[in-house]
Amino acid sequence: MSTVTLTKDNLEDVIRPDNMVVLDFWADWCEPCKSFGPTFEKVSEGHSDVTFAKVDVEAEPELAQSFGVRSIPTVAILRDRVVLFNQAGALPEGDLDNVVSQGKGVDMAAVHEEIARQQQDGDGQGAA
């Protein structure tokens, strides 16, 4: 699958509750981003069941900010709209492929249970 461009306009269509998305935050002036681009594309070809999307931080600063991007390139992996991985730096091909494969293997039911438990615990804190 080829990569898609993620914008605030297509965010809801790309990051759905029923899919896995790998994001590459980049900018045209960033040399490490340019070097990482072909790696991102190549790994995307081996995972046709995953959406790979690129976010131009110059064109979409709000998206970059919402993901806490402070340097580029940054890779983020989401499943069911939950961020499982978020790391700055260009990953080597094997590392990116490994992280994507690990993301596929995450038990999302357990993740959602943990999130619900943390939210429930958080709701009870501070009440007097």
Q: Is 33 a catalytic residue?
A: yes
For residue 59, the 8-state DSSP code is T
- Residue 20 tokens, joined: 């896995």
Minimal CA–CA distance to 82: which of 6, 17, 9, 10? Answer: 17
Catalytic hit among 33, 57, 64, 96? 33
Assess whether 51 carries a catalytic annotation: no
Active-site pick, 30, 64, 72, 77: 30
- Kindly give, in sequence order, each residue whose CB lies less than 8 Å from that of residue 80, ignoring residues fewer than 6 positions away: 17, 18, 19, 108, 111, 112
Q: Which residues carry out catalysis?
A: 30, 33
